Amino acid sequence: MRRLTRLSRMFACAKKKIKRPIMWLALVLTAFMLMALDTAERHLNIPRHSTVEGEVCGVVADIEYKNDKAYLYLKDVEFVSDELRDFKDIKSSSFLCRKMGLVCSIDGEAADVFIGSRVIVHGKVNVYDRATNPGEFDSRRYYISKGYLFKAYSCELISSDHKRKLAADISYRISERVGSLIDRSLNEKDAGMMKAVLLADKSDLDKDTKDLYKDAGAGHLLAISGLHITMFAALILYILKKTPINLKADYIITILFLYGYGFVIGFSASALRAIVMFTIMCIGKIFNKSYDSLTAMAVALLVTILFRPLYVLQTGFLMSYLAIIAIAVVLPIFAIIGKKSGALVSSFTMSTSVSMTTLPMIVNSYYKIPLYAPLLNIILVPGMSVLLMLGILCVCMRAVIESAVFINACKLLFAWSFISKNVYVFLLEGKFNVFAIGIHLFLEIYEWLMNIELSWPRAIITTGARGLFRCLLYEFILLASAVIIRKIKLALWRKDKLINNRIRLHPSYNPTKEIRDIRRKRVVFTIVSTAVLILNIASFLVYWRKDKIEFLDVGQGLCACIQYKGKVYCYDGGSTDRKNVDEYVLSPYFAYYGIESVDAWFISHEDADHTSGIKGLLEDNGRGSIEIKEIIIPRVLEEQFSTITSDAEDAGTEVIYSKAGDVFSSDDGISFTVLSPEEDFVSDDSNACSLVVYMQAADTDVLFMGDADVMAEEKVLSFMSEPIDILQVAHHGSANNTNSEYFLRTLNPRISVISCGFNNIYGHPHRETLERLNALNTNVFRTDQSGTVLFWLF
């Protein structure tokens, strides 16, 4: 009995010591779920697949219209055609794949299709690709987090059973109706913005606007976040409190409105969190209970894990909860205990707290940080409440103007005279919608402020990505420091209060020494705590770049990047089967490693599969893109490079014309020797004029062949005849007038790299080339199979 009593006491003590048990339970479950799903997603062994035509059956979970196409999001997918058996095997391969759906696109409208309809479509089916380059957007992970792994395009709707899930279909129709009202009230750009803010619909959002908000650190304003939900709820409560309805009923009605709104916008991760937390707060108000944000956050976490577990793979999910932790844990360290801060100071400290706490997520999502974002958000965030109000009023006014009641009222009032008709047409065209004018002015002011911010020095700092360990260490130091700082501040405040009480009780008491001691401790504490926070941020932002060479997966093209002793050199950069390779591959790659400038870029010849990305970067130079200090091109192709050289001059990039025998070296121990073509070489084939470059660094030599042919191979062999470490196989592995057996056998490379597109129309690499390489026992790496090929330079 004594042992049982002792155990019960121990458990009772432990229970008393554990504060917020629900929060800890939610955090543990979330961490477990995140690790389990993240591991499952990363270990999906799905190789690249060729597109296969066939029939697919599924239940419509959502419908989206974009670019004159209807996108059907299908759940409970069945692959009907036998040609799709590979996808059947993928779907049954793991517990994660079994629940995955399919996104199909249909030209035009999907008539007679509703949410809940079971449809059969015929189209070209594939799986979403994983990111194959550092920094590249991972479409597979993004769609898996939404519950979709498969995609189909150029689809034809075969049949539909016309069934519908009433509640889901009604919410979709409401969303479509509100979206159409916005479209008819505002210009195209403003309408895209307001649909993103009010309906979480970013399909019509202007790309330049999206980039501007993201670069300025105001991207959170474009999503339905906790901020929007709170403002929306506060607006409803304010209106209801002006009515004679009971206060408790006001809270209940507000909760119902919020859940209806959440249903319309699809319950995004941040919206679900905000709605659940607001519900808990309202319930607390109804039953006169205190509200604890961390406990409410924990309940929201548990609800999310229960109903939408895949949300834990989304960046927005983690950002949303980190923002709550920032407000609950980090924000108090800026507060002066016993005093109320002004609105401006409160807004700035809140913005700073959220920025500090979400820094790892921002760095690993965008690879850059907007330095002045906390200052800008002081103005932008409060203005969102006004913008939301204007948006709601604008939609309401448009609905009234288009309503039958308004039309009939106009007929009765003016007997539908010529004047009344013109007045109605004037209103219908939206020319007198004062709320639309207000929205336009607000958005123009927002963009003006963001452009001013981005014009300031070092407005955007490219940081590069960070590893998981450094992110966790940063968060641990930040949150632990915040808790300790808060406790010390409380202890000093209590000592101060104790001295004041003693003075009041004993007027003869002299507290000079104690007051001086407290002041000294406060000064020391402020200096130390500030230093700890600054050092934590600074150490997190420090980036050490390792020496390496990477052959990027640019599809049917070529691009190699060398990072050595803090400098960056590139060879070629283009593609013919990947659009905007500069935007979707090269720029993210450089941002991922924190690269802001390329010291030298060698370009073999002018074909698009070697230059399209470089052209894009040069055209964007000066508008926040990567800086290219030098481009080195073959002199014999000077005329063919006229467009690129013109763009280079506009961008302030030095153009160097090179020939065989030129050597470009650096004090850090790396050298590039041009082996071909010679200055007087003449050929109608630009491939024969490819700039062949031999690189030597850190006891590693690499030969870049571009698209060189057998004539260039002879010139190369006249310079060198010894085995090399790494060979970039010429012309994407072609066997036509290149990659001769004698050339390959003479060089006998230890490693051979082939850069080509998956299932390209040229059949690269050719079978003959692969046979010649295999005969040498060289290690062959292909970007179409492995993605980016990486080699460390030691």
3-state SS of 122-173 is: EEEEEECCCCCCCCCCCHHHHHHHCCEEEEEEEEEEEEECCCCCHHHHHHHH
**Mean of pLDDT values over 558-580:** 95
The better pLDDT of the pair 235, 418 is held by 235
**Percentage of the chain surpassing pLDDT 90?**
43
Query: Rounded to 5 degrees, what are φ and ψ at 94?
Result: -155, 165
Q: Is residue 117 predicted with pLDDT exceeding 60?
A: yes
Pairing of strands 368-370, 148-160: unpaired
Whole-angstrom distance, CA of residue 630 vs CA of residue 742: 35
**Cis peptide bond N-terminal to 634, omega within 30:** no
- Residue 5, pLDDT > 60, answer no
CA atoms within 13 A on the CB side of 524: 8
pLDDT tens across 228-248, in order? 787 788 888 888 888 888 888
For strands 69-79 and 118-127, give the pairing: unpaired
Of residues 197 and 123, which shows the higher confidence score?
A: 123
Q: Which of 76-85, 239-248, 358-367, 473-482 has the lowest mean pLDDT?
A: 239-248
What is the model's pLDDT at position 343? Answer: 74
Q: What pLDDT shows up at residue 287?
A: 86
The model's confidence at residue 763, banded by pLDDT at 50, 70 and 90, is very high
- The pLDDT confidence band at residue 622, using thresholds 50, 70 and 90, is very low
Using the predicted structure, report yes or no on whether residue 406 has a pLDDT greater than 70. no
450, 376 contact by CB (below 8 A)? yes
Measured CA to CA, the distance from residue 130 to residue 139 in angstroms comes to 6
Q: What is the mean pLDDT of residues 699-720?
A: 92
Whether residue 413 has pLDDT greater than 80: no
Least confident residue range of 487-501, 634-648, 678-692, 707-721: 487-501
Edge to edge, the sheet with strand 548-551 lists 654-658, 630-634, 600-602, 567-575, 557-564, 548-551, 789-792
Average pLDDT, the chain: 87
The distance of Cα 784 from the centroid of its chain, to the nearest Å, equals 24
Contact 647, 628 (CB under 8 A): no
Q: What secondary structure does DSSP assign to 60-105, as a single string?
A: EEEEEEETTEEEEEEEEEEE-SGGGHHHHHHHTSSHHHHT-EEEEE
As a whole number, mean pLDDT of residues 207-218 equals 88
Q: Flag whether pLDDT at 524 surpasses 90.
A: no
- Where is 25: in which H helix or E strand? helix 21-42
Give the pLDDT score at 7. 47
Q: pLDDT at position 417, please?
A: 57
Alpha helices by DSSP H, listed for 308-369, are 315-325, 343-357, 359-366
> Which comes out higher in pLDDT, residue 399 or 452?
452
- Tell me which residue of 449, 446, 433, 450 sits closest to 187, measured CA to CA: 433
693 contacts 699 by C-beta, under 8 angstroms: no
d(CA 446, CA 196): 15
Higher pLDDT, 500 or 101: 101
Q: Which 3 state secondary structure label does DSSP give 59?
A: strand
Whether 15 shows a pLDDT value over 60: the answer reads no
The pair of structure tokens assigned to 562 is 């060398």
Residue closest to 761 by CA, chosen among 553, 554, 556: 556
- On the CB side of 482, CA atoms within 13 Å amount to 21
Spatial separation of the C-alpha atoms in residues 754 and 729, rounded to whole Å: 5
* pLDDT tens digits, one per residue of 173-187: 888 889 888 988 888
Angle formed at CA 276 by CA 273 and CA 281, multiple of 5 degrees? 120
Tens-digit pLDDT profile for residues 122-142: 999 999 999 999 999 999 999
Region 404-408: mean pLDDT is 62
Residue 617 contacts residue 625 (beta carbons within 8 Å): yes
Check whether 28 has a pLDDT greater than 90. no
* C-alpha to C-alpha distance for 545 and 565, rounded to whole angstroms: 8
* Mean pLDDT, rounded, for 507-536: 83
Q: In angstroms, what CA-CA distances link 110 with 64, 85, 106, 119, 168?
A: 10, 27, 7, 11, 17
Phi/psi of residue 782, nearest 5 degrees: -125, 130
116 Rama class: left (phi>0) / alpha (psi -120 to 50) / beta: left
| pLDDT tens digits along 143-155 | 999 999 999 998 9
Summarised one tens digit per residue, pLDDT across range 339-360 is 666 778 888 888 889 999 999 9
* 714-722 contacts at long range (C-beta below 8 A, 24 or more positions apart): 715/660, 715/675, 715/676, 715/677, 715/678, 716/675, 716/676, 716/692, 716/743, 717/743, 717/746, 719/660, 719/673, 719/675, 719/694, 720/675, 720/694, 720/747, 721/746
Residue 749: asked if its preceding bond is cis (omega within 30°), the reply is no
Give the contacts of 665 (CB within 8 A, at least 6 positions apart): 671, 672
In the predicted structure, residue 214 carries a pLDDT above the cut 50:
yes
Would you say residue 426 has pLDDT above 50? yes
Secondary-structure percent of the chain, ordered helix, strand, coil, rounded to 5: 55, 15, 30
Task: Identify the band that residue 14 occupies on the pLDDT scale cut at 50, 70 and 90.
Answer: very low
Q: State the Cα–Cα distance between residues 482 and 326, nearest whole angstrom.
A: 10
User: Cα(786)–Cα(556) distance, rounded to whole angstroms?
Assistant: 14
* For residue 479, pLDDT beyond 60: yes
User: Given a cut of 90, is residue 217 above it in pLDDT?
Assistant: no
Please give the pLDDT value at position 232: 81
Q: Residue 605's pLDDT is what?
A: 94
